[in-house]
Amino acid sequence: MGHAQESADEGTRHTTLSERRTGRPERLPGTGTGDRWVFGFPGQARAEVHTLGARLHSLLLPDRWGNFADVVLGARDAEQVRGPAGYFGATVGRYANRVADGRLPVDDVIHQLDTQPTGHTLHGGPEGFDQRLWRCEPFHSADRTGVRLHLHSPHGDQGFPGALNARVTYTLDRDGDLTLAYQAVADAPTVVNLTNHAYWNLEGEGAGDVLAHDLQLDASLYTPVDADLIPRGAHRSVIGSPFDLRRPRRLSDVLTGADPQLALAGGGFDHNWVLDGGRRAVPRKVAVLYAPVSGRRLDVHTTEPGIQVYTANGFAGEVTGKRGHPYRAYAGVALETQHFPDSPNRPDFPSALLRPGEVYGSVTVLRFSTR
């Protein structure tokens, strides 16, 4: 394995020889972000998940020459996970993305959610699932290895009605595919929208910006936003705009336009795309991210109806990465498979309502390759 792996993942150096051979999950000492679990088959992708926020902290992948690097942005200082790096790699909820004014209607009753300084609720509120310690159980078989994380969210948590039991499962298989599977049940009507908030740089975290990456999305429409990044009005066609990513386009080419929507998001994307075909029972490919220097490619498959793309426009060096490099604008890109922002207040959007006796389910498969 290459030198990038050694510098990117301190936990790998503590892995025993038997664990390296089998890929069986290993629990490592915590560093302020809960327990750390490392897993992955020899010679393939290797993941590290932390129980604080059910967080994907690192993922080691080979490039076209077989050299490994960590492609997930993460804070070097664990204390930053309680602040500016709170969403990095985390499982966010109970409702990922934004709920306008914290106003949550459920069965004709308006619930007031906890809000951030913007006056809106983002990613479940100020103390969302990204700031909770999840209970973890490892699993391993001949072809799959990973961890399941569980969280109980009581009635009234951040203002959400109903007690919720949530689970997220990270699975690596022998092909190096990483599957994220979410489930939840509730004892009263509520809303659920869970996703992962990893920032990707397929050249390696801390290797600079992602502006040379190519991005493709299978989406003919997106949801335009206002100055608070709340969806307003009807879906808008991507044709003739920087949002037309139906064929691969270099991010530097599409983010340099004068589109007012880019300006509202601080000079880049922080928008939801309406995926062609809507929600599916089985994951289908919806996005491709490609890094030309390393040759690493990420194909995103999901059951979800939307994907939020955030190009880290607001990064300004507040977070120092695992290899000691401050993360600045465009240091990574988040690809958040999800229901649409503010769906509870938009009857025209796919419903995120979960009732007692129902099971919320969402699956996203991250398929990695090189070319």
Active site residues: 197, 336
Give the H/E segment covering residue 36. strand 36-39
CA dihedral sign, ordered 341, 346, 347, 353: positive
Residues 6+ away with beta carbon under 8 Å from 292: 212, 213, 214
Q: What angle do CA 264, 269, 274 make, to 5 degrees?
A: 105
Give strand pairing partners of 306.
274, 338
The rounded Cα 123 to chain-centroid distance in angstroms is 11
Q: Are strands 26-28 and 109-112 parallel, antiparallel or unpaired?
A: unpaired
Residue 27 — left, alpha, or beta (φ > 0 → left; ψ -120 to 50 → alpha)? Answer: beta
Nearest residue to 144 via CA among 182, 170, 181, 183: 170
- Whether residue 306 contacts residue 195, with contact meaning beta carbons closer than 8 Å, is answered with no
Using DSSP bridges, classify how beta strands 333-338 and 306-310 pair: parallel, antiparallel or unpaired. antiparallel
Closest CA to 162 of 359, 343, 340, 355: 355
